[in-house]
Structure 1
Amino acid sequence: MKKVTSVFWISLSISIVFVVWGAWAPKNLNTVSSGIQSFLTDKFGWLYIFAVSIFLIYSIYLIFSPYRKIKLGKNGDKPEYNRITWFAMLFSAGMGIGIIFWGAAEPLVHFASPPHADPESQEAAVNALRYSVFHWGLQTWGIYTIIALAIAYFKFKREIPGVISATFQPLLGNKANGAIGKLIDIIAVFATIFGVATSLGLGASQIAGGLAFISDIENTMTTKFIIILIVTVLFMVSAWSGISRGIKYLSNTNIILAVILLLLTIIIGPTGFIFDQFFSATFSYLKHLPKDSFEVAPYDSDYNQWIQDWTVFYWAWFIAWSPFVGTFIARVSKGRTIREFVMGVLFVPTIFCIVWFAVFGGASLHQELEGINTGLTELAKEEAMFGMFSSLPFGTVATVLAVLLISTFFITSADSATFVLGMQTTNGSLNPPSTVKLTWGVIQAATASVLLASGGLGALQTASIVSAFPFMFILLIMIFSLNKALKEDLQAQKY
């Protein structure tokens, strides 16, 4: 534990207090956090939407900017991983459990309760996929692009510690190493813990839902706790083996399983309808992207509430995830140019997300529209995908594959997060001590457990929104710091 910094001890102490609070008084935790969430979404929901749009606009600018050819590292540095492995690792870290949980569930919710259009109408079905793709598309990866690029640039180009605070050196100078820098890193640690805990809670809920569909195991809170305990042991084993073994192999396994599940669903599902939905959803998404990106609906209270419940929640969740995803993507992206990096992080996962929702969301909507399985919208969100599989040939096989995929994504996300938290609390060490990683593994699992106990899915959403709020400002300021550094280095190359 010699490599740990004060950020580790302060963050660990506060985390333990939070876990004890949640275990001792879960209802009080839920009441307090829900009150904070309501205040933030009511007063600052517009700010989450505005900030995320700024992240996307700046990311696209970088593709065409004078800085596009700058390499993340020295001129002779080569990428450590090939493109397929790189895509697999960043996708596993960035989407993983969430996209599996919501792949069928979110379109069904928007179909049954659309912000506009009549419930369960054809118009509601078209908009359902558009909204789902919007929430998992370019905006999401714009958030990750900003922080990952900043960390990678300062770590590999300027050779300074790979911690969040180090990206502020152009603006803060030596103060980035002092109290202000430590505060930034502590905020980043807590955003990571709650962002990842949200995903772990979703993963445990969906694994429990899947097991209930294929066995006699009941989908109870006890089942979810046992799942978290088992998976915690598994990802600790993976974390112990290191990034080049455990995370790399698991990430490749995730992509293989995801592609198999996709192809199986396309083959046994409504193939023609799925392809129609892919093109329709893509066109609708791109057509409405400018308007949806800045929509806050101040004169439509119902639509405004829908935006707070969905769009603001997602943007907050992904902002909370961003220290973890950004640090991890930065770690595996050395040697790539800024243009290659941005295009890879921004567009490849977005295309995959459109395909994912067209397949699973499309298959679910088809069953509802055709009257094949009209009870899907009444299922719990974590059971929606398995309910859809139950009406398909080889549905049990698909369910088993899905449970396995959720489990591997669960392990990969938690494994990656332990690495990132270890890195952030050991002054950017690329190989943090195993004891540090395992400590954060326990904290993550305990946080997810107390959040589930205090309020289920609602508590997970609340934690993301609250923890993301201070980090949103850090990301906005990070753009100015990164741009200043890029401008300085480009001018230096000319002389």
Structure 2
Amino acid sequence: MKETSKVFWISVVIALAFVIWGVIAPTHLGETMDTTKAFFLSQFGWFYQLAATFFIIFAVFLIFSRYGKIKLGKDEDKPEFNRVTWFAMLFSAGMGIGLLFFGVSEPMSHFMNPPMGEGGTPEAAKLAMRYTFLHWGLHAWAIYATIALILAYFKFRKGLPGLMSITLYPILGERVKGPIGITIDVIAVFATIFGVAASLGLGAQQINSGLSYLFGIPNTFPVQIIIITIVTVLFILSASTGIQKGIKYLSNANMGLAVLLFLGVLFLGPTVFLLSFFVSTLGEYIQNLPSMGLRLAPFNEERASWIQGWTIFYWAWWIAWAPFVGTFIARVSKGRTVREFVLAVLIIPSLVCAIWFSVFGGTAIHLDINFNTDIASQSLETALFYMYEQLPLTGIFTIVTLVLISTFFITSADSATFVLGVQTSHGSLNPNNFIKVTWGILLSLSAIVLMISGGLNAMQTAIIVSAFPLTIILIAMCISLLKEFGNEVKAFKKPKTK
């Protein structure tokens, strides 16, 4: 069997065409993306809201269903990684750079410009954190958990290739091996490219901001290209070592650095306030989860625009990341039961994200309310570093953050090249280095093109558009899983013949 697939060559050609378009006519690409983004947000916001809610309901159903004892693998299989390493790997791939980029900037943005009511008030502060929990909590991890579970089940229990298309075999039969299957896998590849490219762009911007703060290096686009180039070389070297070495060791290093950074801000900041803020806001988040998760504000254009720009964008981003994060989490989760898997992937990361935002965002809000530090006026990429200026050990915090962003950058891109390799090499769990290096280069070029064409706005457009057809595929995968679960239960209950 040839290592590369038709999906690989089709995807590479389309990806190169996109890159060339962005290089030759960045303005035209940016304008096209702006028009497309406006259309999808205004016409299909309801669809993304319903889809994100569906994945939460589906994940909770799996936890309490009779299928919870089914193992993701053969009955005798044991987990390949211990729980600490497993958690570190899925978390580094699943959130990574976003926690650092948005840890301060998102709560502060919502604090000054809340989805309802007046900004800059204690009520706005609680509302800001509640909606940040919404965007980074159960909805996101329900999407990841569901797709990862489906991929792991069909790969390790059924022994099928680790492809998105093959999970639809119970519905489509042999048709998944033809043009329909190729189309499904190409859509998954491009959702992954755009989702990860957006994170790489954000990471480069924030590394540049940190270097500018520390060393006075200009915060410019050419510098960000240099940063992306350097990190690209590093993550390609990491990817070439395989998942047992590069990603595993870097993920554990990420977790250690993140814990140190978190504890430093917690204990040097307003500790008691942060813990109280976390507990009270978590309760409000759980209490208001259904209404927040389905809110669209059809009678208020301004509030509807806020929801489209934040909530709908996040649902599309997590869906776009689902093939990437789902394939990666599936790869490292062999041997776990359905119930253990969904509980761990759904609950633990959601809580960690909530605590993280409470500490970083809560510290910034506390400083602005009580000391008029004006962190809210900073840009998305500089808000974190400006907050550090208000705390002791500013330089140490900044250096640790830059190292952590870089390692998150590497692990996210490293994991993405592995996943793209799997999806474009017939589902092989050990894609060759040629495939991984090709995707590593194209990921970086895509990030640069999106930054040229309109920065964060262009990244949002690419994510929202690529997530639309993928959402339909993911829902079909859930139906396919239930059908196969039902067949397995029937086979188990069927009396054995002599």
Q: What TM bracket, shorter-length normalisation?
A: over 0.9
CA distance in 1, matches of 2:356, 2:321: 21
1:364 corresponds to which residue?
Answer: 364
Tell me the equivalent position of 2:168: 168
Q: Supply the distance in 1 between the matched residues of 2:233 and 2:49 (Cα, whole angstroms).
A: 37
- Which blocks of at least 5 consecutive residues in structure 2 are unaligned? none
Q: What's 1:30 paired with?
A: 30
Equivalent in the alignment of 1:273: 273
1:257 aligned residue: 257
Where does residue 236 of structure 1 map in the other structure? 236
**Equivalent residue runs for 1:299-314 within 5 Å:** 299-314=299-314
Matched residues, number:
494
Output the CA distance in 2 between the equivalents of 1:233 and 1:16. Answer: 19
SS at match of 1:115: coil
For residue 475 of structure 1, what is the amino acid of its counterpart?
L
Off by >6 Å, runs of 4+ in structure 1: none
Contact preservation (8 Å) 1:319, 1:472: yes
CA contact (8 A) 1:105 1:381 kept: yes
Instruction: Show the counterpart of 1:391.
Output: 390
Whole-Å Cα distance in 2 between the matches of residues 208 and 494 of structure 1? Answer: 60
The answer to whether the 8 A contact 1:281-1:354 is kept is no
Q: How far has the Cα of 1:212 moved from its partner?
A: 1.3
- The residue type equivalent to 1:163 in the other structure is L
Segments of 5+ residues of structure 1 without an aligned counterpart are none
Cα deviations by residue, 1:276-299 (Å, 9 ceiling, x for unpaired): 111122111111101111111111
Deviation at 1:371, TM superposition (A): 2.0
> 8 Å contact 1:90–1:328 — kept in the other structure?
yes
Q: Note the aligned Cα RMSD (angstroms).
A: 0.9
Distance 1:2 1:73 in 2: 26
TM-score by length of 1: 0.99
Once the two structures are superposed, the pairs formed by residues 171-250 of structure 1 within 5 Å of their partners are: 171-250=171-250
Q: What is the TM-score of this pair, normalised by structure 2?
A: 0.98
Contact 1:34 1:462 in 2 (8 A): yes
Matched, 1:486 2:477: no
Give the distance between the partners of 1:218 and 1:111, measured in 2 at CA: 29
Query: Counterparts of 1:484 and 1:380 in 2: how far apart (Å)?
Result: 48
Q: Distance in 2 between matches of 1:244 and 1:482?
A: 29
Cα distance in 2 for residues equivalent to 1:406 and 1:491:
48
The residue that corresponds to 1:40 in the other structure is 40
Counterpart AA for 2:32: V
Kindly indicate whether residue 459 of structure 2 is the aligned counterpart of residue 460 of structure 1.
yes
Instruction: Tell me by how many angstroms 1:252 deviates.
Output: 0.4
Answer yes or no: is 1:125 the counterpart of 2:125: yes
State how far apart, in whole Å, the 2-side matches of 1:318 and 1:64 are. Answer: 24
Q: Partner amino acid for 1:482?
A: L
Deviations 1:189-218 (CA, angstroms, capped at 9, x unpaired):
000000000110111111111111111112
CA–CA distance in structure 2, aligned partners of residues 270 and 23 of structure 1: 47
Deviations 1:122-150 (A, max 9, x none): 11111111111110000001111111111
Instruction: Measure the CA separation in 1 of the matches of 2:31 and 2:20.
Output: 16
**Equivalence for 1:474:** 473
Equivalent residues of 1:258, 1:405 under 8 A apart: yes
Cα contact 1:33–1:466 (8 A) shared by 2 = no
Q: Does 1:377 align with 2:390?
A: no
Kindly provide the amino acid, as one letter, of the partner of residue 328 in structure 1: F
* Correspondence for 2:99: 99
The answer to which of 71-80 and 286-295 deviates more is 286-295
**1:476 deviation in Å?**
1.1
Indicate conservation of the 8 Å contact 1:372/1:391, yes or no. Answer: no
Shift of 1:461: 1.1
Q: Partner of 2:66: helix, strand, or coil?
A: coil
Please state whether the residue corresponding to 1:355 is helix, strand or coil.
helix
Partner Cα distance (2:92, 2:486) in 1: 32
State how 1:397-412 maps to structure 2 within 5 Å.
Answer: 397-412=396-411
Instruction: After TM superposition, give the deviation of residue 54 of structure 1 in Å.
Output: 0.1
- 1:453 CA drift (Å): 0.9
Task: For residue 402 of structure 2, give the secondary structure of its aligned residue in structure 1.
Answer: helix
Q: Partners in 2 of 1:446 and 1:144 — Cα distance?
A: 26
- 2:481 maps to a residue whose letter is L
8 A contact 1:377–1:384 mirrored in 2 = yes
- The Cα shift of 1:70 comes to 0.2
Instruction: Read off the aligned partner of 2:218 and give its amino acid letter.
Output: E
Query: Is the Cα contact below 8 Å between 1:78 and 1:335 reproduced in 2?
Result: yes
- For residues 381 and 97 of structure 2, what CA distance do their matches in structure 1 show? 11
Is the 1:56–1:139 Cα contact (8 Å) retained in structure 2? yes
* Aligned residue in 2 for 1:159: 159
SS at match of 1:382: coil
Whole-Å separation in 2 of the counterparts to 1:356 and 1:372 = 23
CA distance in 2, matches of 1:280, 1:405: 29
In 2, the alpha carbon distance for the partners of 1:468 and 1:30 equals 18
Report what 1:442 is aligned to: 441
Q: Distance in 1 between matches of 2:395 and 2:261?
A: 12
Give the superposition deviation at 1:356. Answer: 0.4
Write out aligned runs for 1:66-77 (5 A).
66-77=66-77
Name the CA distance, whole Å, in 1 between partners of 2:34 and 2:372.
Answer: 38
Give the drift of 1:372. Answer: 4.6
Q: How many angstroms apart in 1 are the aligned matches of 2:119 and 2:298?
A: 22
The equivalent residue for 1:351 is 351
